[in-house]
Amino acid sequence: MKIGDRLYGEFVISEPVLQELILSKPVQRLKGVTQHGLPPGHEIFPKFTRYEHSVGVMLLLRKLGASVEEQVAGLLHDVSHTAFSHVFDFVVNDMTENFQDEVHEQIVRKSEIPVILKKYDFDVDKICNIELFSLLEQKTPELCADRVDYGLREMVDWADPENAQFYFDSLTTHDGKIVFSSERAALGFSNAFLRLQNEHWGNPKQVLCYHFLAKAIRTALDNDVISMGDAHVTDDVLLKKLIDSDDEQVQGVLKELATYRFEETDDPDFTCTKKFRYADPLFMIDGLPNRLSEVNQGFKKHLEEQRELNKKGVSVKVYFDDEFD
C-alpha cells in the first residue's frame, strides 16, 4: 500500500495490520469529519479532515522511528471523534475539549478494530491508552505527533508556509520525546502555533459558530430529532438530519447559525473563550535538551501575553441579519 502525504511525502505501508486498519470503517469515516468542525460556508482557513490528520500522525511517527504498535495507536487516536469534531464538547459542556478521549475506548471496542488488532497480536487495551506512547501523546507544552501534525498542516496552509518544511526537517527525538534540533526551529514553530491559537482556534467567529452549531445539536437531542447514537457519523450526515428536521426550534437555531454577525464591544452579550493551545518545546544544544521559554526570554514574555489575552476572551455583541430587515 502506497500513501502520499502533502507534508511528509510518499510511504510504502507494508504492515498488514496498518493496511487493514486504514481501510476499516472507523478510520474511513474520518474522511467525512473535518478537523475543525465548521460547517460548509463557515470555514475561516483551508480545511482538512480527521483522516488526513490521523494518517499524518501515523506517518510522522513512522518517520521518527516509532514502533508499529505506536503507529497503530497514532492512526487510531481520533476514531472516537464525533461529527464536527470539538463542537460536541460544547454540546456536552466540556470546555476542556476532552469528550472524544473519554469515549475513545468505548468506540474502539464497539467497532471491528479489536478483531483486526487481535488478528495481529496487538493488545487493544494498550492501543487505547495513548498516554503510554510518548512520541504520540504528551501533555502541553511538550511536542507530540498529534500536536505537531495538526500544527504543521495549518502552518503549511496559511500560518507559516515558508518555514513549515524547515520545522518538519528539524524534528528529532531525545529520551522518548519529540524535540527540535535547533532553537530557531523551536522558536519559529512555537510562534506560529500561537498565531494559530490567536487567529484561528480562538477566533470569535469560530467560537460563535461552535456555539450556534452546538446549540442546534443540543436542541435536536432534547427534542428527540437525533440521539447520541448519531454523534459518530460524518459531518454531512448529521447536518442533513438537522436541516431535514421539521422541528421549529432546531430550524430557528440553524437560522441563527446562518445569519449571525458580531462586533467587539465593551457591552457584550457573549464572551468568546477557548482552550489555550500552545507549545513550549525542548530543543537540543550540544546534545542536551533545553526548554525554549527558559532560554529565550522574548518568547517567554510573548507566551505569557498570549495566555493572558486568551483568558480574557473576546467580548462581542451578536446580531442576526433579520434584525436589519
Residue 129 lies in a domain: yes
As a whole number of Å, the end-to-end CA separation of the chain is 56
Residue 325 confidence (pLDDT): 45
Residue 155 lies in a domain: yes
- For the chain, what is the domain count? 1
Please classify residue 97 by burial: count the beta carbons closer than 10 Å to its beta carbon, then call 0-12 exposed, 13-18 middle and 19+ buried.
middle
Report the candidate in 34, 149, 153 with the shortest Cα–Cα distance to residue 83: 34
Residue 279 lies in a domain: yes
Query: Is residue 279 over pLDDT 60?
Result: yes
Using the CB atoms, write b or e for 27-57: b if 16+ within 10 Å: bebbebbbbbbbbeebeebebbbbbbbbbbb
The range of the structural domain enclosing residue 303 comes to 2-203+275-312
Residue 325 lies in a domain: no
Mean pLDDT of 132-143: 98
Query: Distance between CA 57 and CA 73 in Å, rounded?
Result: 9
Mean pLDDT of 89-95: 75
Residue 319 lies in a domain: no
Query: Is residue 322 over pLDDT 70?
Result: no
Residue 132 lies in a domain: yes
User: What element of type H or E holds 316?
Assistant: strand 314-320
Cell numbers for 196, please give them: 494559530
User: Contact 289/174 with Cβ under 8 angstroms?
Assistant: yes
Mean pLDDT of 219-247: 96
Query: Is residue 269 over pLDDT 50?
Result: yes
- Reported confidence tier of residue 266, pLDDT bands at 50, 70, 90: confident
Residue 6 lies in a domain: yes
Residue 270 confidence (pLDDT): 84
Residue 82 lies in a domain: yes
What is the residue-averaged pLDDT of the chain? Answer: 94
Q: Which CATH number fits the domain that encloses residue 29? A: 1.10.3210.10
- Reported confidence tier of residue 97, pLDDT bands at 50, 70, 90: low
Query: Distance between CA 242 and CA 247 in Å, rounded?
Result: 9
Residue 88 confidence (pLDDT): 87
Q: What's the pLDDT tens digit per position in 99-118?
A: 777 789 999 999 999 999 99
Residue 90 confidence (pLDDT): 86
Residue 272 confidence (pLDDT): 81
Q: What's the pLDDT tens digit per position in 24-66?
A: 999 999 999 999 999 999 999 999 999 999 999 999 999 999 9
